[in-house]
Every structure is written in C-alpha cells, then in structure tokens.
C-alpha cells in the first residue's frame, strides 16, 4: 500500500479548496435566488428534490433539512423517476434537480418528463449553460470549478457546494416563514435537543414530594424532612404558606460548625432567606442555566410566592439535558 507522505497538508488542502469554493458561490446569490425562494414560499404544493449518484445523497440531506424547518419536501431518485416514481409529482409541486454538469444522460431523459407535468423546475447546477440549466425556470448556481481530489473526478467540492447552497435555501425559507424554536421543537421531540425546546419545569417537579417546614419548626423536624424527601433541601414557609427561605444540606453543615447547642434553634434560624427559585412554566433548560450560574444543585419551584416543589440537577441529568 502506497503511503501518503503529507497527510496533514493534503487534508488541509482539501478543506481549503472546499472552503474557497463555498466562498466563491456567495457572489452567485442574486435576484434569481430570491425569485426561487419567493416561488417556494408561495407554492401550494410540495417541494420534490431529485438527483443521481452523489447528488442524490445531497438531495436527501436537503430534503431532511427542509422538512425539519417547516418546508414540506420529498426525495425522488432520478433513476427511479423514469421507471414510475415520476407519478409522485402533483400539479402544484415544484421540482429541484441537482446535477454538477447538468448534461448527464439521465438528466436529459428526466428533464423533458418533468417539464411535461407542467410544474416549475429549479436547477441546482454548476454549469448554467447545460441542458438542465437552459430548461429550468429557476437556477441556483452551485459553481464548482474543480473537485478537491488530485484526479479532479471524485464528487467532493461540488457536493459540498450543493449542500451549502441547500442550507442557504432552507434557512432563507425558515426565516421568511417566521419559523421559531417552538416550531422546531414540534419536528424534533426526541433527544436532548427536543427536550431543551419543550421540556418545562412543570414536567419535572411533580415527580417528587414537596419537602416543606414552617419557619418555627425544630431543627430535628427540618432534618427529617430533608432526609425523607431525598432532595437535599426543604422549603421554609411562614404561616401563610409563603416561601421565606430554604434549608439545604450545606446549611446544615454550616450550622453544625457555628452552633454547639441546637436546643431552641428553628428552621428560620438556619435557613437561607430569599432562595433562588424558578416558575413552573419556565423551560427545564432555564433551570439548568440558573443552577450552573449560581453553582447550586436544586431550585425551589415557586408560583405566587408559594412553593410547589423542587427541581434537582439529577432530574436534568436523567432527562439528558446535562
């Protein structure tokens, strides 16, 4: 096996060439690109994307990105299209065909069939003077003058450029539609990403009993409450059930360092007044951020100045947010 002597320099050269190619297509973004976006925003049908070979793989990724950001899209393999899959195209759809050269035999067969359906055709193509480019209603110029491999044959720069241009298209559509984080959460309910966007404190704290003592409770009662509820803390309330403080394991340790005689001490004597709290409607990720900022492991959940429960760092660990 022949060893490449300059592996690092080769890798850097490939990355630099692909980065330069992406920067070069910035100048191709013009009124034609804008017209394409406006058409897709107003289109009644679906967005069907097709390609063959490596372009088909890029098409599938663009379809996935569009679907997850509010633009319904379908993938249609160019080879399968001429063997029956063309039937998926409906009257109000828009088709985008991805091809570097725009002149492959499959493209020359497919384009007339797509045009015959009467739908609008978008060409994502490097060669705008190609058969595909000349027959398209809109052109997204995925300019790729040279592939990154030494033979200038393997789809590298061209597929990177097409992928980046697809991302630009998807993000433009996302912003024009006013797609927000809550919309994103609808399409990404699973995993830590989804939970950051929809999981609320109110989904977590009811899983625990509320540790609670009155301000005049004995130290022993406060200890027992902390131990029995296993959250490392207890809320302290006044006679109107309004929160006035919190006692944590740390408060207990500090008390033992200060007081030799515990007789007569109450919860109010050792609590931390005005504790950090969070509203039940807050997102769980906000609770995590607050804990990290204050270097604490639990927050009391408060509404209308009354404690409802606790959210602990272990809850957030269990949900995969940390």
Q: Examine the domain organization and report whether 52 and 109 are in the same domain.
A: yes
What does the pLDDT read at residue 123? 97
Q: Whole domain around residue 241: which residue ranges?
A: 201-318
| C-alpha closest to that of 49 among 156, 140, 127, 158 | 140
- Do 149 and 224 lie in one domain? The reply is no
Report yes or no on 191 lying in a domain.
no
The verdict on 149 and 210 lying in the same domain is no
Dihedral (C-alpha) 82, 88, 91, 96: value to the nearest 10 degrees? -70
The pLDDT of residue 258 is 73
Binding-site residue set for Zn(2+): 77
Residue 14 counted as domain residue: yes
Q: What's the pLDDT at 196?
A: 66
Give the annotated binding-site residues: 77
CATH number at residue 163: 3.40.50.10490
Same domain? For 173 and 218 the reply is: no
Q: What is the per-residue pLDDT for 193?
A: 58
Domain co-membership, 122 together with 215: no
Calpha distance 120→137 (Å, rounded): 6
Q: From first to last of its 322 residues, what are the pLDDT tens digits of the chain?
A: 566 578 889 899 999 999 999 999 999 999 999 999 999 999 999 999 999 999 999 999 999 999 888 888 999 998 887 777 788 888 899 999 999 999 998 889 999 999 999 999 999 999 999 999 999 999 999 999 999 988 888 899 999 999 999 999 999 999 998 877 666 666 655 555 566 667 889 999 999 999 999 999 998 898 899 989 988 899 999 999 999 999 988 888 788 777 767 677 899 988 989 899 999 999 888 898 999 998 888 999 999 999 999 999 898 888 877 6
CATH number at residue 274: 3.10.580.10
The DSSP bridge pattern shows strands 306-312 and 298-303 to be: antiparallel
Q: What is the pLDDT of residue 181?
A: 65
Tell me what pLDDT residue 251 has. Answer: 81
- Same domain? For 50 and 165 the reply is yes
Q: Which of 179, 212, 227 is the last residue of a domain?
A: 179
pLDDT of residue 215: 93
My answer on whether 217 and 248 are in the same domain is yes
User: Does pTM top 0.85 for this prediction?
Assistant: no
158/293 same-domain check: no
Cα–Cα distance for residue pair 52/132, rounded to 1 Å: 13
Q: Are residues 108 and 206 in the same domain?
A: no
User: Is residue 246 in a domain?
Assistant: yes
What domain count does the chain have? 2
Residue-level pLDDT at 61: 96
Which residues lie closer than 8 Å to 89 by C-beta, 6 or more apart?
A: 48, 76, 95, 114, 117, 119
């Amino acid at each position: 096996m022949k060893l490449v002597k300059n592996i690092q320099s080769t890798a850097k050269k490939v990355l630099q060439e692909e980065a330069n190619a992406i920067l070069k297509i910035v100048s191709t973004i013009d009124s034609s690109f804008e017209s394409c976006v406006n058409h897709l925003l107003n289109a009644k049908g679906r967005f069907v994307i097709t390609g063959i070979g490596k372009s088909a793989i890029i098409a599938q990724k663009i379809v996935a990105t569009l679907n997850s950001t509010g633009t319904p899209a379908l993938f249609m393999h160019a080879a399968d299209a001429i063997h029956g899959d063309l039937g998926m195209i409906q009257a109000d759809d828009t088709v985008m065909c991805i091809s570097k050269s725009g002149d492959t035999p499959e493209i020359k067969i497919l384009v007339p069939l797509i045009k015959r359906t009467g739908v609008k055709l978008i060409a994502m193509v490097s060669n705008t003077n190609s058969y595909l480019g000349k027959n398209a209603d809109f052109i997204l110029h995925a300019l790729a003058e040279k592939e990154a491999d030494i033979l200038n044959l393997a789809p590298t720069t061209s597929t990177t450029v097409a992928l980046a241009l697809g991302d630009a298209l998807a993000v433009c559509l996302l912003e024009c539609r006013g797609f927000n984080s809550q919309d994103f959460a609808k399409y990404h309910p699973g995993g830590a990403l989804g939970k950051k966007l929809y999981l609320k404190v109110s989904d977590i704290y009811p899983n625990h009993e509320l540790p609670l003592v009155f301000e005049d409770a004995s130290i022993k009662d406060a200890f027992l409450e902390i131990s029995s509820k296993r959250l490392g803390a207890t809320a302290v309330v006044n006679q109107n059930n309004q929160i006035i403080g919190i006692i944590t394991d740390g408060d207990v340790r500090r008390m033992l360092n200060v007081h030799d005689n515990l007789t007569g001490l109450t919860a109010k004597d050792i609590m931390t007044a005005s504790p950090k709290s969070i509203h039940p409607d807050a997102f769980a990720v906000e609770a995590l951020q607050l804990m990290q900022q204050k270097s604490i492991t639990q927050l009391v959940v408060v509404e209308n100045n009354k404690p409802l429960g606790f959210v602990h760092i272990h809850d957030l660990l269990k949900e995969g947010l940390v």
